[in-house]
Structure 1
Amino acid sequence: MQDPFYTKQKRKKGSSLLAADAWLDSSLYESAQRMGRGWTRLQDAFSVFRVSGFKRLFVEILSDGFSFFAIGCVLMVALALPAFNATALGEFNRAEDYSVVFMDRFGNEIGRRGIRSDDSVALADMPDYLIKATLATEDRRFYDHFGIDVVGTLRALVSNAGGDSSTQGGSSITQQLAKNLFLSSERTIERKIIEAFLAVWLEWHYSKDQILKLYFDHAYMGGGNFGVVAAADYYFGKKVQDINLAEAAMLSGLFKAPTRYAPHVDLAAARGRANLVLSNLVAAGFLTEGQVSAARRHPATPVDRAVDANSPNYFLDWAFAEAKKIIEASGTTGNNFVVRTTIDTTLQKYAVDAVVSTVHEGTEQYDVGQAAMVVTDTQGAVRAMVGGTDYGKSQFNRAIVSTRQPGSAYKIFVYSEAFEQLGLTPKDVITDRPVCIGDWCPQNYGRSYKGSVTLASAFAQSLNTVPVTLSIKTGRDTIASLSHRMGLQADYPVTRSLALGVASVSVLDMTSSYAVLANHGYKTPAFGITRLSTLDGTVIYDYDPDAPRERVLSETTVANMNSMLRGVVTGGTGRRAQIEGVPAVGKSGTTSSYRDAWFCGFTGNYVAAVWFGNDDYHPTNNLTGGTLPAIAWQKFMAYAHTNIEIKPVFGVDFTPEPTIVAASDAEALETEQEQRPPSLTPQAARKLVVLADMFKSDLAAGGGKVEARASVPTAVEGL
């Protein structure tokens, strides 16, 4: 029998659930009723806007129009976001590269590199017919539209629909400028929409004249030229202010298709396009047929832009790379720069003549096809650079790549470290005998041994066992470290054969390394730029010749090394490098299998390193550094030291003969040399050497006639 209390509680709980269910049902019903009444009231309220018949059709069309307009606005804003981002940055597209004008050490222009760009000419200074020709061909309503030429766009659409494949387009000058300043050259609908937004933005922020000036300065004109100023100079060798109507028409025809109508690519097409521009001038009412008839009869002729064989092109390529490093490090904006270099065009001609003539003389006998040379003064300024025998055939600069082994020319690092670390001198005796490091046992060139020899003699004869013995005593790591401090920049493995020059070096770095010995032991890196400035003269970089230099070698070591290098030239493997009346010093180098042959050395005036070999690394026919490289080195130095003051070499017991100059002409000659760069060609220099020998013989035989004939060399120097 159930408990009465339990039964009572159960009934009470059931009643509560029933009450909750009833409340929920009634609440839902009342809510539905209220919603129905609300909807009815809403329908009643909107019934006053109900239309029928023709009015309904009009309202539906208007309603859908507003809907699509709203959707279109949202879509256009989404497409315009890239344009907003482009203008928010406030930066125009940078040109693909820098434009650099190079000057030699005397201030004469010697070449250009990179793009050609120049924005220095104001719009008011440009020829009126150039402006009119551009407007007549590109955008006749430029001064009337708001950035988008609606009429021109419709005309282009009709023309394209009719199958017209001409270069006539629908983009206004402002739209073209927007593309040049902010966008890429891709042809898509999205880009055209962004271009339109940017064109309107340009019209809001710039005047018409400013837009036209920007267009003239930033348009690509073919041949690596940006802007009409650079194009006028490149194609016609003129300032843009000086071009005639025919030349202006040819330039104006380049805007739409510069690669197709560039005169150096297709002169006939360029002239045909220019004739169309002249017709546009007449059709637009800017000029009459009579005014353009002379330009039709005498079309423009571009200047020849073939590679100048006398231009120091290898040097310019290297200097351009160095200039870009300076510009980027400075954070300078802009693209147009002027660089004053260290190159001496006369010495450059000497170097090219010495290298090319020597290669040609030895090609058949030694099976050698290439050579390179770098010349600096004793402070590191590059005076000449030859990166190969023919720049027109190969622009690969063999003077700056660290891919060759120097052979025995590397031994200056071994002996210098031995002098520094062990306190040795050239007169110290060492035993030339077999030596091994593990299972590697190097041999001398003649496979024989000299026994007890002085270090000076071992160096002059280029014995191999002696530097290997020294490397064991000093440690090879210290030798490698010294080589990098002296000038070698490329990293290379420190192997057992390091003392024999098994390392990757460049001709440029070897020149810098030998320059340390020419410069009393101070670090002397090669450099080719003394000043870098913008077109308006703002100086970005200025070389400081008085900047402190790091001492790499002691003066004692330098004197010892220089005396031994002198012994190489006077009685060792470098005898072919001797120059009468000049204290020449140097070291030859030959690698295994005769793949590379070197001669590196210096005088009191110049430092030079020469390399001979083949691009494909195939061995030469027993070519050694003491033959062709030494001959080329001697040829250059003989030219370079003609009629100059011969300076002594530190540590070398040699007294140069004084240059004979009449006392009355000495001051005038000195002034002339300061104001005018040397202009002797290699051929003239050879004749001058012959004449000098004749004068010496006559002077020696004439005795008292010295003063009477002393002024003759001065007259010859002006040849």
Structure 2
Amino acid sequence: MSRPPRGNGRLVADRRYPAKKKKTPPKGRKQPTGRRRAPARKARPKRNPIAAFFIGIFGWFFRLTWRLALSATVVLALILGGSVAYVASTLPPASEMVDGRARGSVTMLDRNDEVFAWRGDQFGGAVTAEEVSPHLRNAVVATEDRRFYNHFGLDPRGIASAIRINLREGRGPLSGHGGSTISQQTAKLLCLGIRFDPDEWESESEYVADCRRTSLGRKAREAIYAMAMELKYDKNEILTIYLNRAYMGGGAYGAEAAASRYFSKPAAALNPAEAAMLAGLLTAPTTLAPTNDLERSQERASTVLRLMADQGYLTDAEAAHWQQTPATLSQEAESQSGGYFADWVMQTGPDFFTRDTTEDVIVRTTMDQRIQAAIEDAVNKVFEEKVREGSDAQVAVVVMSADGAVRGMVGGRRTNASGVFNRATQAVRQTGSAFKPFVYATALELGYSPNDTIVDEPFCMNIAGSGQWCPENYSRQHYGRVTLTTALERSLNIPAVKLSEAVGRDNVHRVASDFGIRSDLADGPALALGASEASLLEMTGAYAGILNGGSSVGPYGVRDLSLQGQDQPLMGTSGGIGERVIREDAAGQLVWMMQQVVEEGTGTRASLPGRQVAGKTGTSQSARDAWFMGFTADYVAGVWMGYDDNTPLTGVTGSGLPAEIWHETMLRVHEGMDARPLPAIAPPQPEPAPEPAPRTSQQQQQPRQNGGDNLVQQIIRDLLGGG
């Protein structure tokens, strides 16, 4: 093996790349020799130690703050995300959240099965955002949350804008405009998932007030709940909950109930003007409700139509057309009749099916909307034409059938009011002479005749504990011997008291009570003059008992009651004809006597052309109450007038304005009806007395005996010691 030659140097690889040429220093510059020295650094100026200290502290604090803020943001984001995720996991399916009412609804039908009133929380049934009219969906989004389909439950731009407006208008940042999205509003409607518990809340109104409370903490919880719904539901499900839960005035909850309440149509059939009106109610449902102020509601709807055009949901021409053709109420909603009647049904019906119902109830009533309109027209006419301006006198009217079925009712001068004091059912007032028919009914039941006579003359009697009492006639005159018919016809007080004492006050008390006057009746002799108190409804029912032949009557307004969607009634009529109080012939004779009151006595202003009428006037002590009670063969009606504070009426008696209101009411009630005779029984005409034989001088000297007096005078003389 040969060795490489020596002296050839180290073995190295061939150079892969050519060597770089060394730079030649410029001429005149001396090339450095040895190690190159680093250029000298410029000396830093010395920093003030005090400033350096503070700058260091500031830097350290800034870095610490930044780290803490970053950490806090991460922690808050985790907490917020966890909270949203947790709340979302607790939410039930959207279909279970559309009806959140704490109580049900009551829908009232008249005698022809037409709707005339709603009470409670109306809910027309669940509808989805896809099922309602697209105009309604667009109107709600355009009005309440124009970026609804683009945000995550909160709208930062909307919130910032609302805060800016509130501050500019001098309010707090959270007062006034809220910038809430539909999702946030839905969270509030759901009360953040907290359900009403009667054991925890004193009332539903207190629960609702707490749900509507505004605070920073509450807003934060609403925001979390809104984002949780966005996580759990899609946009249409949230809008569905909102459209079913939102209150839209008139007792209507949700779009379907509101569409039915105001327009008598389903929410799917709404046109742009009607949809804009419903969407406009969301800001102030009570004050903007078209049943309260139609013009104001239409103005708000015009604004909504403009917003819909601005956001491309309508063309300018379409918006202008519907602004010029605003929505109007349906005939059913516009009538607004029977408010007092509906209130009475709610107050007298079973609580679990009326005031406290959790179900949707249908009540078929006895209401006749034609008769109700007749009452309202009559009252308005008389008060406009006959009552002095500025008078605070009130009125009440009830019309019913002979079996006690109430057909119409007005409980005050505001004829179409509801939710107010009802003078027809709640006011208990002195009846005055309107009570006298029950005195005469007692006498007729005991065998007296309308032709029997009684002496009208000055009369006094001693009352234990009160001394002497001397009743007087309204005219302050006396008419001597009169028939019972004449005494009733002229509403004479003294004969009424004498007759009551003769037949027995206890009997009069029993007859009046059996006829339906449930209020406490006076115990003294003034019972005959109407010193007792009763409601107009009681008195009208008692007069119905006279018309129907002498049987008691229970005034009623409910025919039957059932749950919505079920045909089988749960409850039937709660009133009607009861037990007999007086004989049928006695009732017929009393009808005839009361017919004379209208034809020849104090009630002539109530007469109706071509139709028989029977009735009785009544004026209480000091003219604090004025009544006219009467009937035809078809209907019974009662009218009361007076002041709520018992101020005496000026120039008003039962034969005056009450009789005129009765006349105007019944004239309208009987329009188009054939006249029928009253069930009156006239007494047999007395045979003319034979000519007396000439009396001898001996007979002329004998004192007059009581043989010329009839049985009534004899009893009275025996009881009271004189005529």
Q: Tell me if both proteins adopt one fold, taking TM over 0.5 as the criterion.
A: yes
**From 415, 436, 439, the counterpart of 1:414:** 439
What's the counterpart of residue 695 of structure 1? none
Aligned residues: 570
How large is the RMSD of aligned CA atoms in angstroms? 5.1
Are the equivalent residues in 2 in contact too, given 1:488–1:509 (CA < 8 A)?
Answer: yes
Q: State the alpha-carbon separation in 2 of the partners of residues 449 and 258 from structure 1.
A: 64
TM-score (norm 2): 0.64
Offset of 1:520 from its aligned partner? 1.8
What's the counterpart of residue 634 of structure 2? 605
Are the equivalent residues in 1 in contact too, given 2:339–2:417 (CA < 8 A)?
Answer: no
What's the counterpart of residue 644 of structure 1? 673
What's the counterpart of residue 112 of structure 2? 106
Map 1:286-435 to 2 at 5 A.
292-298=315-321, 300=323, 302-303=326-327, 311=335, 313=337, 315-323=338-346, 325-326=348-349, 328-330=351-353, 333-334=357-358, 338-358=362-382, 362-363=386-387, 371-388=395-412, 391=415, 397-420=422-445, 424-433=448-457, 434-435=459-460
Are the equivalent residues in 1 in contact too, given 2:628–2:639 (CA < 8 A)?
Answer: yes
Q: State the alpha-carbon separation in 2 of the partners of residues 590 and 370 from structure 1.
A: 15
Percent sequence identity over matched residues? Answer: 35
Q: State the alpha-carbon separation in 1 of the partners of residues 260 and 333 from structure 2.
A: 20
What's the counterpart of residue 94 of structure 1? 101
Q: State the alpha-carbon separation in 2 of the partners of residues 461 and 407 from structure 1.
A: 14
What's the counterpart of residue 513 of structure 1? 542
Q: Deviations over 1:314-333 (max 9, x none)?
A: x3322234146536343785
Q: Unpaired segments of 5 or more residues in structure 1? A: 1-56, 655-719
Are the equivalent residues in 2 in contact too, given 1:355–1:632 (CA < 8 A)?
Answer: yes
Offset of 1:240 from its aligned partner? 2.2
Are the equivalent residues in 1 in contact too, given 2:398–2:410 (CA < 8 A)?
Answer: yes
Which secondary structure state, in structure 1, belongs to the residue aligned with residue 398 of structure 2?
Answer: strand
Offset of 1:368 from its aligned partner? 9.8
Which secondary structure state, in structure 2, belongs to the residue aligned with residue 497 of structure 1?
Answer: helix
**Does 1:549 pair with 2:574?**
no
**Does 1:119 pair with 2:125?**
yes
Map 1:52-451 to 2 at 5 A.
94=101, 98=105, 100=107, 102-110=108-116, 117-119=123-125, 121=127, 123-131=129-137, 134=140, 149=152, 152=154, 158-159=160-161, 166-169=177-180, 172=183, 174-179=186-191, 182=195, 184-189=211-216, 191-192=218-219, 212-222=239-249, 225-232=252-259, 239-245=266-272, 248=275, 251-252=278-279, 254-255=281-282, 264-265=295-296, 270-276=301-307, 279=310, 292-298=315-321, 300=323, 302-303=326-327, 311=335, 313=337, 315-323=338-346, 325-326=348-349, 328-330=351-353, 333-334=357-358, 338-358=362-382, 362-363=386-387, 371-388=395-412, 391=415, 397-420=422-445, 424-433=448-457, 434-436=459-461, 437=463, 438-451=467-480
Q: State the alpha-carbon separation in 2 of the partners of residues 619 and 260 from structure 1.
A: 37
Which secondary structure state, in structure 2, belongs to the residue aligned with residue 600 of structure 1?
Answer: strand
What's the counterpart of residue 527 of structure 1? 556
Are the equivalent residues in 2 in contact too, given 1:399–1:508 (CA < 8 A)?
Answer: yes
Distance of aligned partners of 1:223 and 1:302 in 2 relative to their CA distance in 1, 3 Å threshold: farther
Distance of aligned partners of 1:190 and 1:487 in 2 relative to their CA distance in 1, 3 Å threshold: farther
Q: State the alpha-carbon separation in 2 of the partners of residues 211 and 538 from structure 1.
A: 34
Q: Deviations over 1:60-115 (max 9, x none)?
A: 99xx99xx99xx99xx99x99xx99xx9x999753688463x54433445455666
Q: State the alpha-carbon separation in 2 of the partners of residues 323 and 158 from structure 1.
A: 47
Rg larger in structure = 2
Q: Deviations over 1:479-527 (max 9, x none)?
A: 4454343233444664552221123333322211100111122222333
TM-score (norm 1): 0.64
Offset of 1:210 from its aligned partner? 5.6
Distance of aligned partners of 1:513 and 1:541 in 2 relative to their CA distance in 1, 3 Å threshold: farther
Q: State the alpha-carbon separation in 2 of the partners of residues 570 and 251 from structure 1.
A: 55
Offset of 1:344 from its aligned partner? 3.4
Are the equivalent residues in 2 in contact too, given 1:380–1:527 (CA < 8 A)?
Answer: yes
Q: State the alpha-carbon separation in 1 of the partners of residues 410 and 423 from structure 2.
A: 8
Give, as a single letter, the amino acid of the residue that structure 1 aligns with 2:559: T
Give, as a single letter, the amino acid of the residue that structure 2 aligns with 1:127: S
**From 447, 457, 462, the counterpart of 2:486:** 457
Are the equivalent residues in 2 in contact too, given 1:135–1:142 (CA < 8 A)?
Answer: yes
Which secondary structure state, in structure 2, belongs to the residue aligned with residue 384 of structure 1?
Answer: strand
Map 1:451-600 to 2 at 5 A.
451-472=480-501, 476=505, 479-480=508-509, 482-491=511-520, 494-533=523-562, 536=565, 538=567, 543-544=572-573, 549-579=578-608, 581-600=610-629
Offset of 1:217 from its aligned partner? 1.6
Q: Deviations over 1:114-172 (max 9, x none)?
A: 66642364554312353355457667898999xxx46x265566556656675522562
Give, as a single letter, the amino acid of the residue that structure 2 aligns with 1:467: A
Offset of 1:309 from its aligned partner? 13
Which secondary structure state, in structure 2, belongs to the residue aligned with residue 125 of structure 1?
Answer: coil
Are the equivalent residues in 2 in contact too, given 1:532–1:541 (CA < 8 A)?
Answer: yes
Offset of 1:408 from its aligned partner? 0.8
Offset of 1:219 from its aligned partner? 0.5
Q: Which of 217-226 and 372-381 deviates more? A: 217-226
Q: State the alpha-carbon separation in 1 of the partners of residues 280 and 487 from structure 2.
A: 71
Distance of aligned partners of 1:635 and 1:214 in 2 relative to their CA distance in 1, 3 Å threshold: same
Give, as a single letter, the amino acid of the residue that structure 2 aligns with 1:377: S
Q: Unpaired segments of 5 or more residues in structure 2? A: 1-63, 168-176, 196-207, 684-723
Q: Deviations over 1:282-301 (max 9, x none)?
A: 5xxxx6xxx64444444546
Q: State the alpha-carbon separation in 2 of the partners of residues 361 and 266 from structure 1.
A: 32
Offset of 1:621 from its aligned partner? 4.7
Distance of aligned partners of 1:430 and 1:98 in 2 relative to their CA distance in 1, 3 Å threshold: same
Q: Deviations over 1:653-673 (max 9, x none)?
A: 49xxxxxxxxxxxxxxxxxxx
Offset of 1:191 from its aligned partner? 4.2
Higher normalized helix content (fraction of residues): 1
Offset of 1:410 from its aligned partner? 0.6
Q: State the alpha-carbon separation in 1 of the partners of residues 514 and 233 from structure 2.
A: 55
Q: State the alpha-carbon separation in 1 of the partners of residues 535 and 218 from structure 2.
A: 48
Are the equivalent residues in 1 in contact too, given 2:396–2:424 (CA < 8 A)?
Answer: yes
Offset of 1:404 from its aligned partner? 3.1
Q: State the alpha-carbon separation in 2 of the partners of residues 227 and 298 from structure 1.
A: 27
Give, as a single letter, the amino acid of the residue that structure 2 aligns with 1:168: G
Q: State the alpha-carbon separation in 1 of the partners of residues 611 and 273 from structure 2.
A: 58
Offset of 1:375 from its aligned partner? 1.8
Q: State the alpha-carbon separation in 1 of the partners of residues 601 and 508 from structure 2.
A: 24
Q: State the alpha-carbon separation in 2 of the partners of residues 490 and 105 from structure 1.
A: 29
Are the equivalent residues in 2 in contact too, given 1:350–1:640 (CA < 8 A)?
Answer: yes
Distance of aligned partners of 1:269 and 1:245 in 2 relative to their CA distance in 1, 3 Å threshold: closer
Q: State the alpha-carbon separation in 2 of the partners of residues 90 and 494 from structure 1.
A: 60
Q: State the alpha-carbon separation in 1 of the partners of residues 469 and 542 from structure 2.
A: 28
